[in-house]
Chain A
Amino acid sequence: MKPLISIKSGGPASWAIRIACALAVGYILLWIPTRGSNSLIDTATTALTLMGAALSLNLLLGFTGQISLGHSAFFGIGTYTTAIFVTRWGWSPLKTLPVAFVVAFVVGAVVSLPALRIKGVYLALVTLALGVVFPQFIKWPKIAWLTGGARGLNDTGFKFDKNNRTYEIFGWNPWGNLRGENVKPFYFWIGIGIVAIIYLICRGLVKSRVGRSLIAIRDNSTAAAVMGVNLAVTKGIVFGLSAAMCALPGCLTAMKGSVVTPDTALLTVVGSITFLIVMVVGGAGSLWGPIIGAVVFELITEKTSDWVDPDKIPSLIRPIFSWSDTAPAGGIFALALVVLMFVAPLGLVGLWKQTIARVVSVVPRPAGSGTLDAPESSAGGIPTWRPQQEPPAGDEAE
């Protein structure tokens, strides 16, 4: 079946679509902190936290094919770096972001050393151990003077003051009230900043020679090495970078909460699994996958949070979920995961691309100095080697 519309990549139609999408995203980003309710801003900030973590995991797992179940530990390193620097040494929370980035990078690169020699299930187990050990390590009495032990740390976030500037733009203030009366939009914007940084790092890598080598490692590491990809160094840097980026949303958790304990869900293995699910449901190996995944995950969590009471469940689907005595978001996502693995192994973004490809086909910019069709005899004097029959033009291969 031929798609109805075809668009040239880089042509006016493709730019129009891009600009429209950018405007829509920009509008939503301004609408949430200025017009949205407090709970919506909260939900959005949590979604941004998951987004950052899932994006970092995506670089490692989705693009490079190295599994990690220890990303909750890197997330936690971010949280505790901010918490410790703010409470023990009185740093301003924003200044702890680069520190957390560096600390997590070093830890990640060190953890990647065994990861260079092992693959698949074994790598999953080694990183799982890291995720399990991290909260225990924080609770270790000998370092409780620093981490606060099992009781955690208090007052880890910003301190707002009646005399703070408010940074209004002609009386319009999308940042929230920095004098401490309404600070939720402020956290939202920090989340946006963190996600933007992570997204731009991932995008720069993926769309370059480095990104191609990462996908090559995922697809066939032997062939990648033969092409000249230094497997050990590349995997090490990607692991470190992924860990470092994952620490940033961790910092945000410490900044907006007033208490940090080692039992916070996202700092335990539950966090690792959550990041993984968000990434896979959204679409592993796609730049927008984790973003969509985090938004959908938070929306479902939010909508179903009061389903603990069976009377709150819409009557149509009440029989399915009324047995559960906890909020069913996790269950819904588990179900969605199973269904998606059959329908669209590349997640929601993959499903969207599949669907849209039936209607719109994007014609890529031709590559090479000549046209794309094989010339009758090429300039270099090489006889063109034509296949005797054209390969089948199946839609599945695309």
Chain B
Amino acid sequence: MSLLEVQDVTVRFGGIVALDGLSFDIEEGHICGLIGPNGAGKTTMFNVVSRIYQPARGSVRFRGEELLEVPAHGIASLGIARTFQNLALFPTMTLLENVMVGAHSQGRIGFGRAISRLGAARDNRRTRDNAGDLLNQLGLGALAFRAAAGLPFGTLKRLEIARALAARPKFLLMDEPAAGLPHGEVDGLAETIRGIRDQFDLTVLLVEHHMSMVMGISDRVVVMEFGRKIGDGTPAEIQNDQRVIDAYLGAPA
């Protein structure tokens, strides 16, 4: 059964059509690569799924439920988490606190219980320990009490993954996780993505320009150009698709 069904989604910004009748499905448990030239609408697609943009037309179904009727803050508790292309961390918080905010949708402490302190200490301890474990798993444990501001880009990208995992998602959208990483770390990142997919039973939608990584770990690849889908298939099929080669991949030199 498809976990996510995107049907005929159209997004316009003024006169510009960012997504033009885009449709595709994602199978449960897959790592799905979403590739295409800059400006093809990949990040726009992410923002539609996480309800930051409202499409003019179309439908996005997650486990059969229409996402476009869910408010932005309701996405996390449905089991959808994401990372951001250009980092959207909380710079004044420590790494640990960033991951604790990631678990917001898992908590039940509201204003009343926070002020009266009923169960708040236990909730804090549990959230804090879970966050610490996640940081350790992503190799960030030694930096847990450092403020996020000022740390290297690659470190913060990993922090975004840890923060997204704290929400215990079923579906993880990753926007260019390898961007800004030195070449040698990309293999490690690919291992990490596969590892978290297996451990947390995730389905992953991955936007990435690092072709060898996308082709290496994806079960399926969707190719976009100018807001439309121009290719869809296994990595091997995509690499031999003439339209995709012309639009994006280019002929092997």
Instruction: Decide if the interface of chain B is mainly helix, strand, loop or mixed.
Output: helix
Contact A368–B76 (Cβ < 8 Å): no
The answer to the question of B40 belonging to the interface, with a C-beta cut-off of 8 Å to chain A, is no
Contact A378–B137 (Cβ < 8 Å): yes
Contact B90–A210 (Cβ < 8 Å): no
Interface of chain B residues 115 through 160 with chain A (CB within 8 A): 115-117, 120, 123-124, 127-133, 135-147, 149-152, 154-155, 158
The answer to the question of B192 belonging to the interface, with a C-beta cut-off of 8 Å to chain A, is yes
The answer to the question of B5 belonging to the interface, with a C-beta cut-off of 8 Å to chain A, is no
B142 cross-chain contacts in A, Cβ below 8 A:
372-374
Contact A385–B188 (Cβ < 8 Å): yes
Q: Residue B75 contacts which of A210, A228, A237, A369 (CB distance < 8 angstroms)?
A: A228
Q: Categorize the interface residue count of chain A.
A: 35 or more
Q: Residue A388 contacts which of B75, B101, B151, B182 (CB distance < 8 angstroms)?
A: B182
A198 to chain B, nearest CB (A): 11
The answer to the question of B52 belonging to the interface, with a C-beta cut-off of 8 Å to chain A, is yes
The answer to the question of A204 belonging to the interface, with a C-beta cut-off of 8 Å to chain B, is yes
Q: Residue B114 contacts which of A209, A382, A396 (CB distance < 8 angstroms)?
A: A209
A211 to B111, CA, bound (A): 9
Closest A residue to B105 by beta carbon equals A228
Q: Which stretch of A130-138, A182-190, A213-221, A297-305 is in the interface?
A: A213-221
Contact A380–B199 (Cβ < 8 Å): yes
Residue count of chain B within 8 Å CB distance of chain A: 77
A226 to B140, CA, bound (A): 22
B188 to chain A, nearest CB (A): 4
A185 to B91, CA, bound (A): 44
B252 cross-chain contacts in A, Cβ below 8 A:
none
Work out how many contacts link A and B, with CB atoms closer than 8 A.
Answer: 193
Interface of chain A residues 237 through 262 with chain B (CB within 8 A): 237, 241
Interface of chain A residues 364 through 394 with chain B (CB within 8 A): 364, 366-375, 378, 380-388, 391, 394
Contact B141–A237 (Cβ < 8 Å): no
Q: Which stretch of B26-34, B81-89, B236-244 is in the interface?
A: B81-89
Contact B74–A228 (Cβ < 8 Å): yes
The answer to the question of B38 belonging to the interface, with a C-beta cut-off of 8 Å to chain A, is no
Contact B104–A229 (Cβ < 8 Å): yes
Contact A382–B104 (Cβ < 8 Å): no
Contact A213–B104 (Cβ < 8 Å): yes
Contact B114–A208 (Cβ < 8 Å): yes
B127 cross-chain contacts in A, Cβ below 8 A:
209
A245 to chain B, nearest CB (A): 11
Contact B111–A396 (Cβ < 8 Å): no
The answer to the question of A230 belonging to the interface, with a C-beta cut-off of 8 Å to chain B, is yes
B139 cross-chain contacts in A, Cβ below 8 A:
374, 384-387
A396 to B71, CA, bound (A): 39
Contact B141–A373 (Cβ < 8 Å): yes
B75 cross-chain contacts in A, Cβ below 8 A:
226, 228
A-B pairs with beta carbons under 8 Å apart, 21 shown: A200-B115, A204-B120, A208-B123, A209-B109, A210-B109, A211-B114, A213-B101, A219-B93, A222-B52, A224-B104, A226-B72, A227-B102, A227-B104, A227-B167, A372-B144, A373-B141, A374-B139, A374-B141, A378-B136, A391-B143, A397-B151
Which 7 A/B pairs are nearest by Cβ-Cβ distance? A368-B132, A367-B132, A228-B76, A228-B105, A219-B90, A223-B88, A382-B195
